[in-house]
Structure formats: C-alpha cells, structure tokens
Amino acid sequence: MTTPADTTSTTRPTPTTPLRIGLLGTGPWARNTQAPALAAHPGVELSGVWGRRSEAAEELASAHGTRAYTGEAGIDALLEASDAVAFALPPDIQAPLAVRAAQAGCHLLMDKPVATTVDGARAVAEAAAKAEVASVVFCTLRFAPETTAWIAEQTSVGGWFTARAQWLGSLYAEGSASEYADSPWRREKGGLWDVGPHALSVLIPVLGEVEHLTAARGPADTTHLILRHTSGASSTVTLGLSAPPAAAGMDIEVRGEHGTAAVPDWDGAEAAFRAAVDALAEAVRTGVPHACDARFGLRLTELLAEAETQAGR
C-alpha cells in the first residue's frame, strides 16, 4: 500500500555539485574576499549577489558573472535560486536574514559574530536546527590552512597550563585609511566584537570551554579578558582596533607541559574563506555539524555579551 507524498514539507532535495551559493552584501568584505572566493571555487556556482543598493549589487554581480538582486523581493528570489547563502552584512542585519534563509531551506555561511545580542544569535541557532540546515561561522583562524593545522596539533598535545592572546588593530588610529573603518557596527562595538571571535575560536578548542570570564576596559576601544577553561587552564586576551600603528599586531601563545607554542602566520582571508566553503559543503553532504557552526556562534555571542556588560561598554 502506498501513501500520498507529504506536500506540506519545505525540505529541499540534497544539493548536488556545484553547490549554488548566493551572496548577501556588497561591502568591502564581499568585494575583497567572499565574491572572489565563491566565484573561483570549483565546487560552487555563485547564484547571485544581493545588495541594498542596486548599483552596488549590479557592479559586484557583473564582475563575477552572476545575477544581481535587490529589495525585499530580491532576497526571496535569491534564496529560491540558492542551496546556501553567504553573508557579508553587519551582524544584527545578518541574524534575522539568516533565520529567514534557514526557514527557506538554505544552508548558512555566516560571518562572525553571528549577532551582537544573545537573543539574535539564539534565534539563528534554533532556526538552523529546526530547518535541519548546515551552518558554518567564518572565524578566519579556524579555516586558514596554517592555523587550522596548528589548532588541531595543540588540541591533540594537551597539557596546556595558560595562554595569552593579543589582537590589536590600528583601524581607528590617527591616519588610518582602511575602508573597513567606515563600518558603523564595527566602530560602535570595537575590537571586542570584531576580533574577539577570532581569539576565542582558537582558545576554546585548545583549552576547553570557558567556565568563567572576567572583563575590564582598556584605552580607547581596548578590552581585556581573563578566562578560566574547563581543562583547568587559564588565558588572557587583549582586543582592540585603536592601537597606534607601531603597536598593532596579533599574537596567540600557549604554554604547558610540553613547552610553548605560538600560532603561525597565515596567507590571507580568501584561502581561509574557500576552506569555510569546503567545510559547509562537507556538512551538507554528510549531515555532520561543523564544530564552528551556529551553535558555536551563539556561544561566542554569549561570552562577548557578558564581557561587554562587565567592561561597561
């Protein structure tokens, strides 16, 4: 005996290669990293570019041989034309659109942080789980080949006693000409939210979940964190975007039973983003969640929100 098909289901069939990925956003991050990486990826079809400004969407789409979308109707049209969507939008614009995309059956390739509110990040994680779509949060160091290998090696070694992470940019230092300095959310939220996810995405897999956090405010937008991890190790983190150019730089170091290990340099964000695309495709294919998924993105937002409150920002 046969039964009629369930016509109420919105579940899409498993995507085939190439994976159709639409891009939401047309700013510097989309132009410099995401659109080039998606257009050049052999396993991806860049299914379209959506932007709030039609001229920006047309320009970026034309540069990469795809279709431009704009407006509310354009979002729905791009979701319909895509198996997955990548986000190059401010976090609190990203979050509700990620919920919308998940509800439409699209897999999610999100930028960090997922949202700057716990409620916003939780809504994304819950929507992804309910829709059973794959998700990846692009924390650069979790996907750059050099740092991915380093994180895996230090996690397997274990026995770490303490760690130190400093990520100081000069984005808002006098004389800075970076186009990323024009980002209103980044200027409002500072280094805690912009580079904090990167540092935490390294420390948590190596040292374990954060079970206690203390935060204090430093000069300009600088924030200092002291973390206690489930492994028993502790770590300190300094984050900011307003350091003098001569003081800017990134350094993460762990110390323990086997000595000292420092995170290596890596070769640009585009290669890391291609690896994040690969990770999403693997999660789609296997149904096995990636460690840096929407749930991890929620945890990052919980920690950063607590730090923001403690530091009085």
The C-alpha angle with vertex 104 and arms to 282 and 8, in degrees rounded to 5, equals 110
pLDDT < 50: residue spans in the chain: 1-10
Residue 15 pLDDT: 60
Q: d(Cα 208, Cα 213) in Å, to the nearest integer?
A: 13
Residue 204 pLDDT: 98
Residue 14 pLDDT: 59
Residue 176 pLDDT: 83
State pLDDT tens for residues 242-253. Answer: 999 999 999 999
State pLDDT tens for residues 42-93. Answer: 999 999 999 999 999 999 999 999 999 999 999 999 999 999 999 999 999 9
Instruction: Output helix, strand, coil percentages for the chain, rounded to the nearest 5.
Output: 45, 25, 30
Token couple for 28: 């510097």
CB 127 within 8 A of CB 98: yes
Q: Rounded to two decimals, what is the model's pTM?
A: 0.93
CB 35 within 8 A of CB 64: yes
Residue 7 pLDDT: 34
Single out the residue of 38, 67, 39, 35 nearest to residue 54, CA to CA.
Answer: 67
Helix (H, G, I), strand (E, B) or coil at 10: coil
Burial (CB < 10 A; 0-12, 13-18, 19+), residue 17, is exposed
